[in-house]
Chain A
């Protein structure tokens, strides 16, 4: 799995994940989001377009990131969920917790 981060504006971090977000890789996502928030990028977008698999540990990493961002006064949204990711979000009732944006650009367009 690969994770890259880029900054948009002054406080949005776009975290792009590629590959499988499972027990092997979820710790990296936690660390990347925590580092972004610590550096003042309080609004996080996790781009899942290139994620072909997620499990509950991947969900846990995103919930960890959501809490970290909110505790600092920010937020975390997701975008680009594929069919497997949507299935996992539905069955765990996480669709209403991990808010999905239509695109990276639209995630914080109203802010």
Chain B
């Protein structure tokens, strides 16, 4: 039976380098070789979208710190992003893809389409994003 693993990192913005999240996930996949390739694509894309969103919209006079935590257990991947950015007006319900020729606005609806659950909350002054993807194992 696959073992449960947990990996985490902290991103400071600026500069905010999303490639660190790719590196974190490379370590996750190395320790969880049983995760099917399409599930890796789905989870990695959703998580990168959220991390990019935090980096892109990081507005705070003192810079923004984001802790990314990824858990891999049997048949399930979970990621949490906890960041110190100013709370945004985040709308998750009813998000749809923008017009065909729009150059932005696809990140959140794409993330929602990729995973089973995408949640956002504010907790003790932090923004908390959480994605969950379940798959047959």
Binding site for B on A (CB under 8 A): 20, 22-24, 53, 55-57, 59-61, 63-64, 66-67, 83-84, 87-88, 91-94, 96-97
Alpha-carbon distance between A55 and B22 when the two chains are bound, in angstroms: 12
A22, A61, A66: the one contacting B18 at CB < 8 Å is A22
Main secondary structure of the interface of B (DSSP, over half): helix
A-B contact pairs, 22 of them (CB 8 A): A20-B19, A22-B52, A23-B18, A23-B55, A23-B56, A24-B17, A53-B22, A55-B49, A56-B107, A56-B110, A57-B104, A60-B102, A60-B103, A64-B103, A67-B101, A83-B38, A87-B38, A87-B42, A88-B45, A91-B113, A93-B97, A94-B100
* A33 nearest CB across to chain B (Å): 12
Binding site for A on B (CB under 8 A): 17-19, 22, 37-38, 41-42, 44-45, 48-49, 52, 55-56, 97, 100-104, 106-107, 109-110, 113-114
Which residues of B sit under 8 angstroms from A91, Cβ to Cβ? 110, 113-114
Known interface pairs A53-B45, A88-B45; A83-B37 also in contact (CB < 8 Å): yes
Write the chain A residue with the least CB distance to B114.
A91
Judging by beta carbons under 8 Å apart, are B100 and A97 in contact? Answer: yes
Judging by beta carbons under 8 Å apart, are B18 and A24 in contact? Answer: yes
Which residues of A sit under 8 angstroms from B49, Cβ to Cβ? 55-56
Write the chain A residue with the least CB distance to B37.
A83
Write the chain B residue with the least CB distance to A55.
B48
Which residues of B sit under 8 angstroms from A57, Cβ to Cβ? 52, 104, 107
Alpha-carbon distance between A25 and B118 when the two chains are bound, in angstroms: 26
Alpha-carbon distance between A17 and B30 when the two chains are bound, in angstroms: 26
What are the 9 closest A-B residue pairs judged by CB atoms, nearest first? A56-B106, A60-B103, A23-B52, A84-B41, A56-B107, A91-B113, A97-B100, A63-B103, A55-B48
